């Protein structure tokens, strides 16, 4: 992390801890970030077709255990009226689809407990998702060869100011500080996301041009300890016609050692998904027990 990035991050952390600033709304933070950062810095957008995306959900509906989800619609992000909690990229009452290019990443992100049953849906993208903001290019390049191909030219074609902005946003998104009233980090990450959805300036635009509409953002996993894939936070209404549920898996958590090591087994998968989203399940015979981890090999 360079000195300029560190200085900017320290300033943001101090603002979050300040009694007056900690009471600010997401949209007030949008104005602050726009004024402090986007008046001087810009970012580089990407058109991305991930082919497959994954989203995991513990088999619980509100407070009741669910043996099997019956319809793929239950595995999308909840509708706006059911979103009661603020998340890293969503405000209360805002439906955002969180998903990953890695099935394992989607599992680690939800942090399931011992004996939990987890359902993971695989979406097939039938075309280019559209323009996406990207945060944390340095981390995403490390995921694998495909990511190096996609983002490898970022440093070559982006201005120094765009690279600085990416580093600052990445460090903010990777913060492991718990969101709280005294340190509302989600207000800041939400503000960054809302800016990408609305009016982010890009290196590809001439001065004073109207910014394009982003469908969401791509960012590294905050939970996993090694890069397994990239996460996406997508404006669900914009992408629901692009992502097609292709198969659904059900796993059992046999043992949770910590948040980075599990023993799991695949118990069921769908044999078909109806035209209205109906899920038709089959039991997996002689399934293999898997030990999975997100801790990098040494």
* Helix (H) / strand (E) containing 218: strand 216-220
The length of the chain in residues reads: 298
- In-domain check, residue 294: no
- In-domain check, residue 228: yes
Following CA atoms 33, 37, 42, 46 in sequence, which dihedral angle do they give, to the nearest 10 degrees? -40
CA-based nearest residue to 197, from 238, 159, 256, 229: 238
Grouping H, G, I as helix, E, B as strand and the rest as coil, residue 35 is: helix
Burial string for 53-63 (b: 16+ CB within 10 Å, else e) reads bbbbbbbeeee
- In-domain check, residue 64: yes
CA-based nearest residue to 295, from 225, 242, 244, 246: 225
Beta carbons of 265 and 251 less than 8 angstroms apart = yes
Beta bridge partners of 131: 47
200 has a pLDDT exceeding 80 = no
* pLDDT score recorded for residue 289: 96
Q: How far apart are CA 95 and CA 89, in angstroms?
A: 10
- In-domain check, residue 207: yes
- In-domain check, residue 282: no
231-286 pLDDT tens trace: 999 988 888 889 999 999 999 999 999 989 999 999 999 999 999 999 999 999 99
* pLDDT score recorded for residue 244: 95
Which structural domain, as residue segments, surrounds residue 50?
A: 1-113+124-248
For 218-286, the DSSP string reads: EEE-SS-SS---EEEEEEHHHHTTTEEEEEEEEEEEEEEEETTEEEEEEEEEEEEE-TT-BEEEEEPTT
- In-domain check, residue 149: yes
Top pLDDT among 175 and 122 is at 122
CA-based nearest residue to 46, from 208, 230, 206, 224: 230
* pLDDT score recorded for residue 209: 43
* pLDDT score recorded for residue 155: 61
- Judging by DSSP bridges, how do beta strands 131-134 and 60-61 pair with one another? unpaired
> Of 91-100, 161-170, 172-181, 267-276, which has the strongest mean pLDDT?
267-276
Beta carbons of 268 and 119 less than 8 angstroms apart = no
- In-domain check, residue 253: no
201 has a pLDDT exceeding 60 = no
* Helix (H) / strand (E) containing 60: strand 60-61
- In-domain check, residue 182: yes
The structure tokens listed for 30 are 């949008």
Beta carbons of 42 and 159 less than 8 angstroms apart = yes
87-133 pLDDT tens trace: 889 888 888 999 999 999 999 999 999 999 999 999 999 888 888 88
Q: How far apart are CA 68 and CA 231, in angstroms?
A: 25
How many folded domains does the chain comprise?
1
């Amino acid at each position: 992390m360079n000195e300029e990035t560190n200085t900017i991050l320290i300033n943001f952390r101090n603002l979050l801890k300040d009694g007056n600033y900690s009471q600010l709304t997401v949209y007030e933070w949008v104005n602050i970030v726009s004024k402090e950062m986007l008046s001087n810095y810009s970012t580089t957008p990407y058109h991305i077709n991930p082919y497959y995306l994954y989203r995991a959900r513990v088999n619980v509906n509100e407070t009741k255990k669910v043996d099997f989800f019956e319809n793929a619609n239950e595995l999308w992000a909840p509708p706006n009226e059911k979103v009661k909690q603020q998340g890293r990229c969503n405000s209360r009452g805002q439906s955002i689809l969180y998903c990953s290019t890695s099935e394992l990443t989607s599992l680690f992100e939800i942090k399931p407990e011992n004996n939990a049953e987890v359902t993971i849906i695989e979406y097939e993208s039938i075309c280019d998702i559209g323009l996406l903001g990207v945060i944390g290019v340095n981390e995403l390049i490390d995921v694998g060869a495909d990511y190096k191909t996609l983002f490898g030219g970022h440093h070559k074609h982006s201005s120094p100011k765009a690279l600085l902005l990416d580093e600052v946003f990445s460090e903010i998104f990777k913060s492991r500080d718990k969101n709280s009233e005294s340190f509302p980090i989600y207000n800041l990450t939400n503000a960054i996301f809302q800016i990408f959805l609305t009016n982010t300036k890009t290196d590809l635009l001439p001065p004073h041009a109207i910014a394009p509409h982003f469908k969401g953002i791509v960012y590294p996993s905050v939970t996993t300890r090694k890069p397994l894939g990239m996460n996406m936070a997508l404006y669900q209404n914009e992408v629901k016609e692009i992502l097609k549920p292709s198969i659904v898996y059900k796993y059992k958590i046999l043992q949770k050692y910590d948040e980075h090591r599990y023993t799991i087994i695949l118990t069921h998968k769908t044999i078909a998904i109806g035209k209205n989203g109906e899920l038709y399940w089959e039991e997996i015979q002689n399934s293999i027990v898997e030990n999975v981890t997100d801790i990098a090999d040494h």
